Amino acid sequence: MRKIILMILSSIVLLSCSKEEEYREINENLVFNVPDNFPAMVQDLSLNPPTQKGFELGRRLFYDANLSADGTISCSFCHEQGYAFTHHGHSLSHGIRDQEGIRNAPAVQNLMFMGEYFYDGASDNIEMISIVHIHNPVEMDETLENIVLKLKSDKSYVEMFKKAFDGADITSGNVLKALGQFMTMMVSSNSRYDKYVRKEPGGNLSDQELQGMQLFAQKCASCHTTDLFTDNSFRNNGLPPNPLLNDFGREKVTGFDYDRYKFKVPSLRNAALTAPYMHDGRFGSLESVLNFYASGVKDSETLDPLLHQNGTLGITVSENEKAAIIAFIKTLTDDEFIKNPLFYYKT
């Protein structure tokens, strides 16, 4: 039995629907639910338990371009809700002063169920994730200390921090905590597939989708495990390295050459929305991704052994099977998540 009980997003809706004036003064703890079909949480919720005010503050910060040096780039610039919080239309995510990064922004969802973040595992702490983007010269090119100074000049922020953190001032730590609380609550678990496995209304899958689910279990689920559709490991999936980027992946973080070209196995939740694909966004469609696994895997010293079995590179999959697998992946789209007003802030 799960000890952590229901996260009733609807309860937040109810709360925020109740009279603003009365409600403002109370900072309720938000209830975090582990969906029934999810594996156990990896992060410790008690380290930064989300509150209503902390969540609201984190949401405002997430959408605030003032977090960047010149006031142009917010978190939401690269993490757009409609695309499951990825950067649509760009293989490599853009940042401040029209610069380009070396990776494709990954989806922000279900972070409490992951031990490590970024394609290379540059962080293992949900509160500290934001540090990377804030300081990266091609993303926001700012410092936490300077963000604090900027926020302090805005009375409404001063007030929001006080409410969120028991009267506390704006500090680097509280900026990170608020963003962490917002991202903690970003759980996507209500796709058609979820309803199917939880036997809820609306959980109907077509024959092709069901066939795809079976094929997925045989051919994909050794890495895209559990209902998170990732084992959170780092693997070299045989992508030919892009010589223009020369991205060593996990090796950059660990310094071990056996980690060269290894990248984090992404969750496939909402994958139909998160094009382009792979760490460098090289593939524009799920079809291209499956074509790659069928015939494009390149051998190298660190290639994952699962993609080189019995002398065969990649995954054996027919055209019909590809279509079924893609049909199945599309059942992982969670409209409630991408349309949930709780995760949107009108700037």
Partner 1 sequence: MQSINPLAYSYPDNYSYTLINKMKFQIKNIAAVLAATALFVSCSSDDDSKIVEGTTGDAELFFDNGVAGDALILGSSYKNSNNETLTINRLSYIISNVVFIKEDGSEFVYPKEESYFVISQEAGLFTVHLESIPAGDYKSVRLGLGVDKQRFLQGETAQQSFWDLASANNLTWTWSTGYKFINFEGTFTTASSFDAKPFQMHQGSNTATDNYREITLNLPTTARVRENEQPSIHIKTNANVFLDGNTKIRLQDNLDGSGNAAAIMGGQNLIDIAANSLTFFEVDHVHNGEGTHHE
Least distance from partner 1 to the Cβ atom of residue 110, Å: 18
Stretch of residues binding partner 1 (CB under 8 A), selected from 26-34, 138-146, 156-164, 301-309: 138-146
Stretch of residues binding partner 1 (CB under 8 A), selected from 77-85, 169-177, 206-214, 285-293: 169-177
In the window 286-345, what residues touch partner 1 (CB under 8 A)? none
- Of these, 37, 143, 208, 225, which contacts partner 1 (CB under 8 A)? 143
Least distance from partner 1 to the Cβ atom of residue 173, Å: 3
255 binding partner 1? (CB under 8 A): yes
Stretch of residues binding partner 1 (CB under 8 A), selected from 19-27, 184-192, 252-260, 315-323: 252-260
170 binding partner 1? (CB under 8 A): no
Closest by CA to 121, choosing from 43, 233, 46, 223, is 233
Q: Which is nearer to partner 1, 92 or 327 (CB)?
A: 92
> Phi, psi at residue 51, to the nearest 5°?
-115, 165
What single letter denotes the amino acid at residue 299?
Answer: D
| Mask for 30-69, x = binds partner 1 (CB under 8 A) | --------------x--xx---------------------
Stretch of residues binding partner 1 (CB under 8 A), selected from 67-75, 105-113, 256-264, 279-287: 256-264
Which residues here bind partner 1, judged by CB under 8 A?
A: 44, 47-48, 116, 118, 120-125, 127-129, 131-132, 134-136, 143-145, 171-174, 176-177, 180, 250, 252-257, 259
